[in-house]
Amino acid sequence: MIDKVFPKIHNEGYKFLVIFGFVTLILYLISGFLGLIGLVLTIWVYYFFRDPDRISINDENYLVSPADGEVLQVEDSDGPKELNLEGKKFKKISIFMNVFDCHVNRIPCSGKITEILYKPGKFLNASLDKASEDNERNYYKISNSSEEDIIIVQIAGLIARRIVCEVTENSELKQGDRIGMIRFGSRVDIYFENYNPLVKVNQKTIAGETLLAKK
């Protein structure tokens, strides 16, 4: 019960809590009303960086959602050119995370991280199509038990200013394990083959638990 009211937070959140807490104290000394605004913002920062435990299905026949949020797109797509996969056809699901969603991202299937590629870029609205080409982003190429390529792309949004990667190339991960986070509003794209999408546009997802696709 306590974990639901006061969930544990990601390590990235502590410095922001200190900053917002200090600013709140200064604002309170100036005005009680300003202090109240600062307190509300500090509470929001706490919940933004929440990092709850999730229980994945642990089944290689399914892909679980890499992010909390709302499904923006479910479509056929070429693979990311940044990974030299532009000549390969994939299914692609895009998930938008607003500033109230949990921003910790998780691996959709058990497998090995064979490549990680970071690309600096702009900070356009993450819901726009061109954000996948223009914004700051981080690519993860995953090889599952069938040696199929599953691609995750973290895309920084309008407010986000840093993508946090918590894994390294050649890491062996289990379905639902954490791979990193994006701070303050963003999007995650997932590319896959040989799975059939189970979600629809506008559907809400929970990282590590919502079933995105099935073989």
pLDDT > 60? residue 55: yes
Q: Chain centroid to CA 55: how far? A: 17
Query: Which residues have C-beta within 8 Å of that of residue 53, sequence separation ≥ 6?
Result: none
pLDDT category at 50 given cuts 50, 70, 90 is confident
Give the range of the structural domain holding residue 41, as residue numbers without chain letter: 2-48
Inside any domain, residue 54: no
pLDDT > 80? residue 87: yes
Inside any domain, residue 56: no
Domain boundary among 10, 26, 48: 48
User: Which of 8, 96, 2 shows the shortest CA–CA distance to 47?
Assistant: 8
Across residues 35-56, what is the average pLDDT?
A: 88
Inside any domain, residue 176: yes
Per-residue confidence (pLDDT) for residue 131, from 0 to 100: 63
Q: Are 126 and 177 members of one domain?
A: yes
Q: Are 40 and 133 members of one domain?
A: no
Per-residue confidence (pLDDT) for residue 113, from 0 to 100: 96
Q: Are 181 and 205 members of one domain?
A: yes
Inside any domain, residue 57: no
Domains in the chain, number: 2
State yes or no: is 31 an active-site residue.
Answer: no
Per-residue confidence (pLDDT) for residue 69, from 0 to 100: 94
Q: What is the pTM of this model?
A: 0.86
pLDDT category at 156 given cuts 50, 70, 90 is confident
Q: Which of 56, 110, 132, 186 is catalytic?
A: 186
Q: Are 117 and 208 members of one domain?
A: yes
Across residues 209-213, what is the average pLDDT?
A: 97
pLDDT > 90? residue 145: no
Q: Are 116 and 190 members of one domain?
A: yes
Task: Say if residues 115 and 152 touch (Cβ distance below 8 Å).
Answer: no
Instruction: Report the CATH number that the domain containing residue 158 is assigned in CATH.
Output: 2.70.70.10
In the beta sheet, which residues pair with residue 189? 94, 153
Q: Pairing relation of β-strands 111-119 and 186-192?
A: unpaired
Q: Are 89 and 117 members of one domain?
A: yes
Q: Are 26 and 70 members of one domain?
A: no
pLDDT > 60? residue 2: no
Q: Are 101 and 202 members of one domain?
A: yes
Burial 169-191 (b: 16+ CB within 10 A, else e): eebebebbbbbbbbbbbbbbbbb
Across residues 193-197, what is the average pLDDT?
A: 95
Across residues 85-110, what is the average pLDDT?
A: 92
Q: Are 200 and 158 members of one domain?
A: yes
DSSP 165-208: E---TT-EE-TT-EEEEESSSEEEEEEESS-EE---TT-EE-TT
Q: Are 110 and 18 members of one domain?
A: no
- Residues, the chain: 215
Per-residue confidence (pLDDT) for residue 163, from 0 to 100: 87
